[in-house]
Amino acid sequence: MASGDDPVDDVIGEAEDRGVLVGGGRPRIQIIVAPPLPVTDADIDEAVDAIDASIGVVFD
């Protein structure tokens, strides 16, 4: 489990470590994903897998 005080920041950091850039929304209980327009199914799969793994690290 990540040790920060803000789980959203922890998930964002874990996702960035996996090569996926996401942002925090307002209020800080959201994670914003904004892929480029020419996104592929493989890109989406990679991003979802990275975010899923990041959430698992923070909350397990």
Give the per-residue pLDDT at 44.
93
* pLDDT averaged per 10 residues in sequence order, the chain, 60 residues: 78 93 86 90 94 94
> What residue segments make up the domains of the chain, in order of their start?
7-59
Give the per-residue pLDDT at 26.
83
Burial of 58 (0-12, 13-18, 19+ CB in 10 A): buried
